Amino acid sequence: MAVVSAAPRAFPRRGDAPVGRHKIAAACLFRVPAAETAPTIAAVTEGLRRSGFVRSEVSGEVIVMRRGSFFGDAVLNGTGLALVTSRLGPLSKHAVVLVDAVPVGEQSEIVVSMIVGHELSPIVADAVDPVVDDLAARGAIVQGPGWMRPVDLPRESLGHPSTAKERGYIG
C-alpha cells in the first residue's frame, strides 16, 4: 500500500480565517525562523507605510503605527463620507497597529494587531498577507494560528488591546 503525503497546507490568508474580510479588528499571530524576523518586520511595516500608516513609536522591538485620527473618524462617519472613501486628504479612518516579535526557541512569534480601530482591517490584511505569502514562496516555514480578533490573543501578548493599554501603547 502506497503512502500518500498531503502537501503542507499554506498559511491561511485573512479571508480564509474566522475573522474573514469583515471590517472588524484583526490580529495575525505567526511564527517564522529567527533569521527571518528582521526582514519580516521590515516588510510588514513597509506594507503598512504604503497604506498610509506612519511609525509613531518604537520601544525595543515593538513598533506602533498609526493612521488617521479620532477627528477624521468623526467627520467621515458623521457626514456620510465614510460610504464614499476611507481616506480623504488629511482625513482618514483611525487605526493603531502594533507589530511585535518575541523569540520562541529557534523561531520568532510575530504579532500584527489592530489595537485601535476596525474599519481599516482589510487594509492591514493586505499589508500582512503578501509578506507571509512571500515567506512561504521562499521556502520559509510559517506556522501559527494566523488571523483572529486581537482580544483572542493570549493576554500576555502586547497585541492584546488590554495589555497594550496597560503598557501605554494606546490612551
Instruction: Please spell the DSSP secondary structure of 76-118, one letter per residue.
Output: HHHSSGGGT-SEETTEE--EEEEEEEEEETTEEEEEEEEEE-S
Q: Which residue range is the domain that position 139 belongs to?
A: 36-166
User: What would the mean pLDDT of 63-87 be, rounded to a whole number?
Assistant: 57
The DSSP element (H or E) to which 57 belongs, if any, is strand 54-59
Say if 89 falls within a structural domain: yes
Say if 30 falls within a structural domain: no
Say if 171 falls within a structural domain: no
Closest of 93, 84, 91, 101 to residue 40, by C-alpha? 101
Please give the pLDDT value at position 13. 77
Say if 92 falls within a structural domain: yes
User: What would the mean pLDDT of 72-97 be, rounded to a whole number?
Assistant: 54
Closest of 64, 21, 72 to residue 164, by C-alpha? 64
pLDDT in tens, 131-165: 999 999 999 999 999 999 999 999 999 999 999 99
pLDDT > 80? residue 104: yes
pLDDT > 90? residue 28: yes
At 110, is the pLDDT very low, low, confident or very high (cuts 50, 70, 90)?
very high
Torsion over CA of 60, 68, 74 and 150, rounded to 10 degrees?
A: -40
| Percentage of residues of the chain with pLDDT beyond 70 | 77
Q: Global pTM?
A: 0.80
What's the mean per-residue pLDDT of the chain? 80
At 25, is the pLDDT very low, low, confident or very high (cuts 50, 70, 90)?
confident
Please give the pLDDT value at position 55. 86
Task: Read off φ and ψ for residue 10, nearest 5 degrees.
Answer: -65, 150
Report the number of distinct structural domains present in the chain. 1
Q: 62 and 98 in contact (C-beta within 8 Å)? A: yes
pLDDT > 90? residue 46: yes
Say if 27 falls within a structural domain: no
Say if 20 falls within a structural domain: no
Say if 9 falls within a structural domain: no
Say if 28 falls within a structural domain: no
